[in-house]
Structure 1
């Protein structure tokens, strides 16, 4: 049963990753090489009839019949399925080994598009909350061309993030999408967003990140994204505690208490 489970996991994982690779223009990983496996399919009735029609005497002495009998015996065992299961696992293992450089390429490409989005969000399209509201037919030629480029960058960034997330969710398990998967604010930017009322953290969307002026970047993994969130919160808490200690000292000094 474990071979079947491993093969199913391998098939599902490989299919999931190949779908998102295609969406960002990366060639999919090859599937299992079944051509390299021996043919252990059971003989058909036509094959058996043909073999029997071509012999005289004892069928057991016919090499053709013996070959068919061997195929029937092999097909009746679990060996054939085990070989197919193993081929799926091998294909998945090969794909996993080739994933790291693809992820780096995806991260690099995302950073390029995120930087362009940031320039647009802080420049010509500052104040545009939703790129879907841009109607290119109503814009002058220059602005329409720039809007088209921004929309292309946005779509590319979304597709790259989706590919990155799907790959890591396949490798590490998924979790709710969070802005830390696509942004790296400064500590001050994080605290400003946290302390605002209401809080001004971006939605997990490349344009939302760009509108806040945060640096758009994909972390090394989903696990790294969770660690980044914890580090931001720890740094913010430490800054709060430092500010509180400083305020207490100032208050004590103002009251004439010598520290």
Structure 2
């Protein structure tokens, strides 16, 4: 059962990776060549009948009958399924070994697209909350062409992010979607978003990030995204603690009537 479950997970995960990578121009990882596996299927009734009718004398001495018996025994052991399961696991492991390098390639491509989206979101298309609201037919031709390029960049960015996320989910790093996996704001930008009333976080969407003038950036992994978020939180907390300590120090000095000038 464990072999069956492992093979099932391998087949499902490989298919998920291919669905994510194909839209961004990567060739699909192949499944196993099951036709290359040894044939250990059980003989059919017709094969057995034909072999027996050809035997002259003791059927136990017939090489053909012995071969059929061997096939029947092998089939009864589940060997064929075991070989198939192993082939699927091997195909997934081959894919798995290549994924970190592909993730790095995706991150590089995403950075370029995210820069163009940020330029558009803070320039000609400032204030456009949702690109779906753009009516290219009603825009002047030069702006319509620019809008079309922005929409295409957005589509590519979404696909790249989806592929990156699929890779790390497949590598057992699943996590709820969060802005930290697509953005690298400055510490000041993070603190401003946190301290706003209400808080002004972008969603884990390339255009949402670009519209806040945050740098679009995919971290090394989903784990790195969680660490990125934690680093912003800790830095902001350390700054607050430092301000409070400084305020307390000044208060103590003032209480003793000592001038700070």
Query: TM above 0.5, one fold?
Result: yes
Aligned-partner Cα distance in 1 for 2:200–2:118? 17
Aligned-partner Cα distance in 2 for 1:159–1:248? 50
Give the SS at the match of 1:172. Answer: coil
> Deviation digits for residues 70-125 of structure 1, max 9, x if unmatched?
11111011222221111111111111111111111111111111010001011111
Stretch deviating more after TM superposition (244-253 or 189-198): 244-253
> Deviation digits for residues 202-258 of structure 1, max 9, x if unmatched?
011100100111110101001111111111100000011112222333344445544
Counterpart in 2 of 1:181? 181
Stretch deviating more after TM superposition (230-239 or 20-29): 20-29
Counterpart in 2 of 1:86? 86
Give the SS at the match of 2:77. Answer: coil
Give TM-score scaled by structure 1 length. Answer: 0.95
Instruction: Give unmatched runs, 5+ long, in structure 1.
Output: none
Give the SS at the match of 2:200. Answer: coil
In the TM superposition, 1:210-221 aligns within 5 A as 210-221=210-221
Counterpart in 2 of 1:153? 153
Counterpart in 1 of 2:243? 243
Offset, 1:45: 1.9
Contact 1:10–1:88 (8 Å) recurs in 2: yes
Aligned-partner Cα distance in 2 for 1:231–1:173? 19
Aligned-partner Cα distance in 2 for 1:197–1:178? 20
Contact 2:173–2:223 (8 Å) recurs in 1: no
Contact 1:190–1:232 (8 Å) recurs in 2: yes
Contact 1:182–1:204 (8 Å) recurs in 2: yes
Counterpart in 1 of 2:132? 132
Aligned-partner Cα distance in 2 for 1:143–1:220? 35
Aligned-partner Cα distance in 1 for 2:90–2:135? 49
> Deviation digits for residues 37-59 of structure 1, max 9, x if unmatched?
21101111222222233333332
Offset, 1:68: 1.3
Instruction: Give unmatched runs, 5+ long, in structure 2.
Output: none
Give TM-score scaled by structure 2 length. Answer: 0.94
Contact 1:48–1:68 (8 Å) recurs in 2: yes
Contact 1:41–1:72 (8 Å) recurs in 2: yes
